[in-house]
Chains A and B, each alone.
Chain A
Amino acid sequence: MLLLLLAAAGALMAADQPLSFSHAAHIEKARMQCTDCHSGAKTRDNAGIPSIRRCMACHQFIATDRPEIGRLAAYWEKQREVPWLRVYGFSKDAAVQFRHAPHARAEIECARCHGDVASMTVAVPAVVHTMGTCVQCHRDNSASDDCVACHF
């Protein structure tokens, strides 16, 4: 039931993204790495949603004739970030302090938590992020299941 709900919510979110950004196009076609845009994913706490500055670094020159890129450029003209909707995150009351870097160091694949983003167009919450998911993985990998490992 909950899964269904979340999936539905995910689909809604995906539909709502301001630009129909395609992960697949960037990863499969342009052969980019996740960290090319989400630069903190392996080394920092936050993976980071790339700034439009980073988009425009390429799209000033590449595929400028596409309508979506045109819309991207319109944001850039106005000096506004693209108002992306968060796909993954924690509610404030969950009091979760998630850090990407240690997970990358433990060689957890991106896909483990984010699904096969490479084949997605607009990212959808392919992997359900609940405490159960986290705890299960932590236990399977004999990582800490101390509450304060995440909640503080």
Chain B
Amino acid sequence: MDRRNFFRVVGTASGGAITGACGRKSEEIIPLLVPEEGITPGVESWHPGVCGECAAGCGILARVMASEREIEVDGERVRQRIAAVKKLEGNPNDPTSGGRLCARGHAGLQALYGPDRLRGPMRRAGPRGEGRFEAVSWESAMQEAAEAIDSAVSEDVERVVFLSRPRADLRAANIAKFLLALGAPPACAVGVRDFAAEMQSAERAYGWRGIPAYAIRDATLVLSIGADFLGGWVSPVLYARQFGHMRRGRPGVRGRLIHAESRFSLTAWNADRWLPVWPGGELALALGLGRALVDLGVSVSPSRAEQTARTAFADVDLDKASAACGIPAATIREVGTELAAASAPVVVAGASIVREHSSDAVAAASALNVLLGRVGVAGGVLPPPSVLADLSEARPSSDGWRERLANANLVMIDGANPAYTSPSSREALENAGTVISLSSFVDDTSAYADVILPDHDPLEREAVALPSASLVESVACSAPFVAALHDSRPADSVLADLAAAVGKPFEPLDARGALARLHASVGAGNEAGASDGFVESALEQGCWQGGPAGGGATGETGLGEFEIADSMVPALFQAYESLQFGAGGGANRPWLQELPDPTSSAMWGLPLEIDPVTASELGVENGDIVRARSDHGSLEAPAYVNPAAIPGVVSMAVGQGHSHFGRYASGRGANPMSLLGDMQDRRTGATAMGPVRVHLERLDKGRALIQFSRQDRDVPPHRV
């Protein structure tokens, strides 16, 4: 009992005569360092930034105020007044976020102030994967890293592998420059839901490079095939904003939403109609719909592209398609009729849950837009932005990363966590020559690193990012506005220093440089000084916005052949990216851990979602521990009997089950990716998330499901 509590007890006992004031602890006097100028307590300032939580590239605003922290200086505990970020909001200037922000975006703050963030560079002190590290100085860490790079480059530069994420931003450009300087092959994107299928399909169906944007705000009927655009797909804030507008933003018009997915996702919640597609049946559904549209004789503009699409759909057997996707043929025809009749329909083609045939499925669904004449028109599908090709070209692809990793003598990692998203890659990480991580946390993959050179948090460094989807040409950008909290260094400069150290220097691209290039490319005035003004204004605004994105379709479509699977396979398992954790990167934020999962209301853990039929066969109730076994692995997790799950389909959100990821995430729950082995999208190599056959077994291990709400049903229904 401390003093304060003592007074409470005494105060209570003695009739409350002694209270509060007596218990006040005199503030312990710890010396305060002389703060930097311009940090005034009680004064707020808002600074634009770029959200780093997902690839959407939302422009944000950070509220910065004075705060104090304790640090040790020359062996003395001192207080230091620092400028601290207090709150994140969307940047109203930014066309992607429009001033709004999603749950994960808000929680970016808890990455910046995460208690488990690395305080400085680390060197491995135990076997690979164990996660034991010792603090080292930047000099020795950099030297170690440089030596490893030097020897790897001189040995076989082809076996240098840089694992990253599929983003078109400053970092991607600098990684590309670094690898170019070394003469190494380009970086690989490793993750789940890397939008590889979407990008490839855009090329096949529309002839566009990049991720297309769907202008659902102006559509009257939205059919989404496999794209959980409200649950985190591509650009959750952009699509939620558009969704709101589609529903209630236009007087007298309420857009309709039909959603086809193998899971009752957030988009399905909000849909007027949900088509429960059998996992892997998305392609069949898209083809069936195409056939239905062809049968209806829909024709808008007899272009070559439309002709191609028509040919692709003409031979589809609707009944076979129906059998493969689990949606009755009559329903498919009904939806087709609705699409044909709508004044402004659009088909959102995506793969929220990547499968082996996702590229085909997305391409076929995209082709529906071609057939409907909804490409490059208002309320239809719009091309990706064309500005800042340096950044978009540098976006890593997932092609062949497994083979390259298996064969690597030097692995460098920034923004990827393969040990988590593809647990089968752990072996390769263990056997790789040297592993260098640029992570701010010891995560599953960094646990395998020989050296960790911790990066700044996205809120501490400058950024330029192309949004993953945007209705207009736009770029989000920011200059640093708070000093680094710990002894970290921005990976961009670390890469440049490493390259210089091995005698292959390159000039890293910085925010101002990138914006100057943007200025040059959009030709917004050529006189001297105009560029500076443009750059400063963009940094002040936190973004730059141009006209409508890109150009029209090239017409060069190469849809290729599609093949429908013969039938549906029973007892399937699929993983999906969770709303709150994304591909797992959000799991160390306590706010997100305590955020009820939309589907199961689970907190501090994620369950196996089992349909009521299967659950009653297994005798499983909410919270019972269930073992799921596939050919590739097994996991144990509490069950959640999901009333909306397709009978015979078990789903589990990705997010938990980290071997290492700080106090809030380590050793919590199970990683659903461990059931999936090396499954990948056949055309792009992107990590697939199912389906695989599983065997379920109820274990007598008590219950372990923490739910915010244990009631799935409203008793009695309160209709509002």
Contacts and interface: CB of A to CB of B under 8 A. Distances in A.
The answer to whether A and B come from one shared complex is yes
Interface string A41-55: 000111010011100
A91 B41 contact: no
Contacts, number: 42
Nearest to B66: A46
B29 A45 contact: no
B34 A44 contact: no
B32 A83 contact: yes
A106 B78 CA distance: 38
B625 to A, nearest CB: 43
Given A80-B78, A91-B21, A51 B35 contact: yes
Contacts of B24: 91
Interface string A4-18: 000000000000000
B42 A45 contact: yes
Given A91-B20, A91-B24, A93-B20, A80 B31 contact: yes
Contacts of A53: 34, 37
Assign chain A's interface to a size class: 10 to 19
- The interface centre, meaning the residue of B33, B35, B37, B42 with most chain A CB atoms within 10 A of its CB, is B42
A79 B34 contact: yes
B407 to A, nearest CB: 53
A148 to B, nearest CB: 19
A89 to B, nearest CB: 9
By secondary structure, the A interface counts as loop
B27 interface: yes
A55 B493 CA distance: 38
Nearest to B22: A5
A44 B470 CA distance: 40
A41 B31 CA distance: 24
Contacts of A48: 40-42
A71 interface: no
A83 B35 CA distance: 13
A46 B78 CA distance: 23
A86 interface: yes
B33 A81 contact: yes
Nearest to A92: B24
B31 A83 contact: yes
A28 to B, nearest CB: 27
A51 B32 CA distance: 10
Nearest to A18: B29
B720 interface: no
A81 B32 CA distance: 5
Interface residues of B, number: 16
B715 interface: no
Interface string A29-64: 000000000011000111010011100000000000
Contacts of B21: 91
A85 B26 CA distance: 10
Contacts of B78: 80
Interface in B370-388: none
Nearest to B31: A80
A86 B27 CA distance: 9
B42 A79 contact: no
Contacts of A52: 34
Contacts of A80: 31-34, 78
A149 B429 CA distance: 59
Interface in B3-36: 20-21, 24, 27, 29, 31-35
Given A91-B20, A91-B21, A81 B41 contact: no
Contacts of B32: 80-81, 83
Contacts of B1: none
- The interface centre, meaning the residue of A39, A80, A93 with most chain B CB atoms within 10 A of its CB, is A80
A45 B33 CA distance: 23
A51 B35 CA distance: 8
Among all A-B residue pairs, the 7 with the closest Cβ atoms: A46-B42, A81-B32, A45-B42, A80-B31, A79-B34, A46-B41, A83-B29
